[in-house]
C-alpha cells in the first residue's frame, strides 16, 4: 500500500490518536481486503503520513491534540465526491448477492456497525460502497481473553444488521458455503501482510507481546478457525449487547476541508 505524503485527491483520514488507536485501522485494512474477495466495494485507500508540524485552525485545540497524537502513519480513504449517503429505499435496489455477501462478511469479521440507524454504506453511480469497519475484530484488544472457542462464537451486536433478513432466504446456506470457499488461509495471510508492523505494535492488547509476526499469525489463526464448518455466525445472528453508542459518528474521522 502506498504512503501518501501529499495526496492530490482529498482523503478521509482515520487517525491513530483516537480512542481505539491503530486497532480500528487494522480492522479497516483487513475488512477492505476481505471485502474485495467477495466482490464488495470499499473506497480506495492509502497510508497517510501525518507530520509533527501539521497546522490546524481548530479554535479549541481538540483537533490539534488529536493530530499530535497521530504523528506518523495513519489510514486514508479516497473521498467519494460522487457518492451519497445510503437511505432506506436504496436497500431494494441492491442485488441480493451483494446484500448476502455484506451480511456474511460483517458476521465473519464481527462487525456490529451496519444497522438501519447507522448503515455505513454509500451509493455512487456504480452501486453500493461499504465504509467504516473500525468496530470489527474486537478480539484484537485483549488476546488474553481469546480461547480455543472464541473464534466459534457468534459475537455481539447492538442492533439488528441492516440485511439480517437475508439469512432467512432459502439461498443463504448455499451462499455461506460459496463465500467461505473464497477465503483460503493464503487469502487471510495476504490481508494481514498488508497491515504495517507499526499498526500492529501499537495496539494495547492485554498480555500479548507487541510482536507483529506473532500478531499476524494470531489474527490468521482466529479467522481461519472461524471459517471452519459449521459456522455458528452463519447459522445464528449475533447476541444483542447493551450499548450507549448508537449511530454516533466515530470521533476519529478527519474529513477533508
Q: Which residues pair with 115 in a beta bridge?
A: 161
C-alpha atoms less than 13 angstroms from C-alpha of 103 in its C-beta half-sphere: 29
For residue 133, the tally of other CB atoms under 10 A from its CB is 24
Quote the pLDDT of residue 248: 41
Q: Which residues pair with 124 in a beta bridge?
A: 127
Distance CA 238, CA 251 (A): 25
What's phi and psi for 207, nearest 5 deg? -90, 0
| Residue 54 CA from chain centroid, whole number | 27
The answer to whether the beta carbons of residues 172 and 166 sit under 8 Å apart is yes
pLDDT of the chain, 257 residues: tens digit per residue: 555 544 566 889 999 998 789 999 999 999 999 999 999 999 999 999 999 988 877 766 788 888 899 999 999 999 998 999 999 899 999 999 999 999 999 999 999 999 999 999 999 999 999 999 999 999 999 888 999 999 999 999 989 999 999 999 999 999 999 999 999 999 999 999 999 999 999 886 554 557 899 999 999 999 999 999 999 999 999 999 865 444 444 443 344 43
DSSP for 61-128?
SHHHHHHHTT-EEEEEEE--TT-EE--GGGGGGS-HHHHHHHHHHHHHTT----BSSS--EEEETTEE
Distance CA 77, CA 186 (A): 25
pTM of the model: 0.89
Distance CA 133, CA 221 (A): 20
Q: Left (φ > 0), alpha (ψ -120 to 50) or beta: where does 116 sit?
A: alpha
Quote the pLDDT of residue 156: 92
- For residue 233, which of 101, 133, 106 has the smallest C-alpha distance? 106
Enumerate helices (H) and strands (E) in the chain, giving the number of each.
Answer: 8, 10
Q: What is the DSSP letter of 248?
A: P
Quote the pLDDT of residue 206: 57
Q: Which residue has the cell 479549541?
A: 60
Quote the pLDDT of residue 2: 52
Quote the pLDDT of residue 94: 95
The answer to whether the beta carbons of residues 31 and 77 sit under 8 Å apart is no
User: Is the peptide bond between 101 and the residue preceding it cis, with omega within 30 degrees of 0?
Assistant: no
Quote the pLDDT of residue 253: 38
Q: How far is CA 81 from CA 6, 140, 141, 184, 220, in A?
A: 18, 33, 34, 35, 35
Amino acid at each position: 500500500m502506498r504512503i501518501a505524503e501529499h495526496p492530490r485527491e482529498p482523503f478521509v483520514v482515520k487517525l491513530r490518536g483516537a480512542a481505539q488507536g491503530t486497532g480500528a485501522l487494522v480492522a479497516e485494512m483487513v475488512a477492505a481486503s476481505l471485502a474485495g474477495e467477495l466482490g464488495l466495494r470499499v473506497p480506495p485507500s492509502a497510508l497517510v503520513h501525518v507530520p509533527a508540524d501539521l497546522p490546524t485552525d481548530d479554535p479549541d485545540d481538540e483537533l490539534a491534540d488529536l493530530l499530535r497524537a497521530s504523528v506518523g502513519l495513519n489510514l486514508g480513504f479516497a473521498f467519494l465526491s460522487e457518492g451519497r449517503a445510503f437511505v432506506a429505499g436504496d436497500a431494494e435496489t441492491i442485488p441480493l448477492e451483494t446484500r448476502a455477501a455484506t451480511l456474511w462478511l460483517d458476521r465473519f469479521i464481527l462487525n456490529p456497525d451496519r444497522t438501519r440507524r447507522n448503515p455505513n454504506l454509500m451509493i455512487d453511480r456504480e452501486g453500493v460502497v461499504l465504509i467504516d469497519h473500525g468496530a470489527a475484530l474486537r478480539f484484537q484488544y485483549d488476546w488474553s481473553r481469546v480461547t480455543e472457542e472464541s473464534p466459534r462464537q457468534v459475537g455481539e451486536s447492538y442492533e439488528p444488521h441492516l440485511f439480517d433478513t437475508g439469512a432467512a432466504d432459502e439461498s443463504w446456506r448455499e451462499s455461506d458455503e460459496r463465500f467461505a470457499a473464497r477465503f483460503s488461509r493464503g487469502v487471510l495471510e495476504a490481508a494481514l501482510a498488508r497491515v504495517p508492523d507499526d499498526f500492529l505494535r501499537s495496539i494495547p492488547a492485554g498480555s500479548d507481546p507487541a510482536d507483529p509476526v506473532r500478531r499476524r499469525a494470531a489474527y490468521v489463526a482466529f479467522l481461519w478457525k472461524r471459517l471452519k464448518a459449521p459456522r455458528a455466525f452463519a447459522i445464528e445472528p449475533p447476541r444483542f449487547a447493551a450499548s450507549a453508542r448508537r449511530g454516533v459518528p466515530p470521533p476519529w474521522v478527519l474529513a477533508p476541508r
